[in-house]
Amino acid sequence: MELNTIKPSAGAKKARRRVGRGIGSGLGKTAGRGHKGQKSRAGGFHKVGFEGGQMPLQRRLPKRGFKSTTAALHTEVPLRELERLGLDEIDLATLKQVGAVGQRVRYAKVIKAGEITRRVVLRGIAATAGAKAAIEAAGGSVEAGPGAAA
């Protein structure tokens, strides 16, 4: 192989489409734009969803739903997760460290889902009434500090 013999493989290079260059090209006369209308003319452009002045579909349909921007900052931790961790003192940093909650979470709340038999102390984490009762029944305590969401 020599540098002067290198060439692209067959079909790799395709000639660009030259429109409006006579009927023999197949793209003469209207140059592939059809007949008349806004899209046939120079500068003929309308935005996506435009329906010629008719009320567009996205405005005719009702608005639905809501996406909370703070949902990723709040999370719930079930009692069974606290049981599984095997730690005596639990705070938000501990939960992040062991992977029980995501790194972006700012507020965690313990919910009564599952059982707890171990003594645990929650620091700076809120708990529902049922979860608090279950933790205290197992000999633990809930110390909701300034970082806890009520």
Average of pLDDT values for 75-84? 91
Position 30 scores a pLDDT of 93
Stated length of the chain = 150
Number of domains making up the chain = 1
| 59: Cβ contacts below 8 Å, ≥ 6 apart | none
| 14: Cβ contacts below 8 Å, ≥ 6 apart | none
- CB contact at 8 A, 143 and 121: yes
- CB contact at 8 A, 19 and 12: no
CATH assignment at residue 120: 3.100.10.10
Average of pLDDT values for 18-42? 92
The token duo for 62 is 């009702």
- Domain-located, residue 9: no
The secondary structure of residue 12, as a DSSP letter, is: S
Q: Structure pTM?
A: 0.55
**Residue 133, pLDDT above cutoff 70:** yes
Position 146 scores a pLDDT of 56
pLDDT category, 34, cuts 50, 70, 90?
A: very high
User: In the predicted model, what is the mean pLDDT of the chain?
Assistant: 90
Q: 3-state SS string over 14-80?
A: CCCCCCCCCHHHCCCCCCCCCCCCHHHCCCCCCCCCCECCECCHHHHCCCCCCCCCCHHHEEEEEHH
Position 27 scores a pLDDT of 93
100 three-class SS: coil
- Domain-located, residue 150: no
Position 150 scores a pLDDT of 47
- Domain-located, residue 66: no
- Domain-located, residue 17: no
- Domain-located, residue 60: no
Q: Report the side by side order of strands in the sheet with 89-90.
A: 89-90, 121-123, 141-143
Domain extent at residue 111: 71-143
Higher pLDDT, 2 or 147: 2
Please tell me the distance from the alpha carbon of residue 91 to that of residue 82, in angstroms, as a whole number.
Answer: 11
**Residue 148, pLDDT above cutoff 60:** no
Position 52 scores a pLDDT of 87
pLDDT digits (tens, 9 = 90+) for 94-131: 999 999 999 999 999 999 998 898 899 999 999 999 99
- Domain-located, residue 77: yes
pLDDT category, 57, cuts 50, 70, 90?
A: very high
- Domain-located, residue 62: no
The secondary structure of residue 101, as a DSSP letter, is: S
